[in-house]
Chain A
Amino acid sequence: MDFIHYGIGRWIHIGAGVMWIGLLYYFNFVQVQAMKAAQADNTAAGISKHVAPRALLYFRWAAVVTWLAGATILGGHFHEAFFFLTKTYVPIGMGAWLGTIMLFNVWVLIWPNQKKILGLVQATDEEKNRARRVAFLASRTNTMLSIPMLFFMVASGGVFRIAFF
Chain B
Amino acid sequence: VQAKARLPCLGLLATLHSKKNSAESGILDPAPQSDLAGSELGSRDSKNLAIKERKVKNPLDTIWGTIISGLVLTLILYYIVKMAIGG
Contacts and interface: CB of A to CB of B under 8 A. Distances in A.
A119 B74 CA distance: 37
Contact of B70 (A29, A129, A132, A143): A143
B85 interface: yes
Looking at chain A's contact residues, the main secondary structure is helix
Interface stretch (B2-10, B48-56, B59-67): B59-67
Contact of B66 (A132, A133, A144, A155): A144
Contact of A140 (B66, B77, B82, B86): B66
Interface in A88-126: 88, 90-91, 94
Interface in B22-41: 25-27
B74 to A, nearest CB: 4
B85 A145 contact: no
A34 interface: no
9 contacts: A28-B66, A129-B26, A143-B70, A144-B60, A144-B67, A146-B70, A147-B70, A151-B77, A155-B78
Interface of B: 25-27, 58, 60-61, 63, 66-67, 69-71, 73-74, 77-78, 81-82, 84-87
